[in-house]
Amino acid sequence: WDEAVRAALANGDYLVQERVPTARETFPALQDDGSVVFAEQLVDLDPMLFNGKVGSAFTRLSSTELANVSSGGGMVPTFIISEKQ
């Protein structure tokens, strides 16, 4: 890891990221027959920054490691709740 970071800094053309386990949570899902089942899903939370502050976000869920919609993932509502001022 240290060597990868040194090489990236020396060259300037690379980005090095540490792989960390992806968050998983249990979510309800509506089935074709109208029943609801609960299943563990990968959670991909993507904040959108504007002028250095979180202005919005979207969240994708997936039963596989790839959370994009074209591979079977789905988008769910994301609510940003701040403290009362």
Instruction: Provide the domain count of the chain.
Output: 1
How far is the C-alpha of 66 from the C-alpha of 36, rounded, in Å?
A: 23
Residue 84 counted as domain residue: yes
Instruction: Provide the pLDDT for residue 85.
Output: 67
User: What is the domain range of residue 65?
Assistant: 21-85
pLDDT tens for the chain, 85 residues long, are: 788 788 878 877 777 778 888 899 999 988 999 999 999 999 998 889 899 888 888 899 998 887 777 777 888 888 888 776 6
Spatial CA neighbour of 63 closest among 76, 72, 52, 54 = 72
Residue 16 counted as domain residue: no
Q: Which two tokens stand for residue 63?
A: 């039963």
Residue 2 counted as domain residue: no
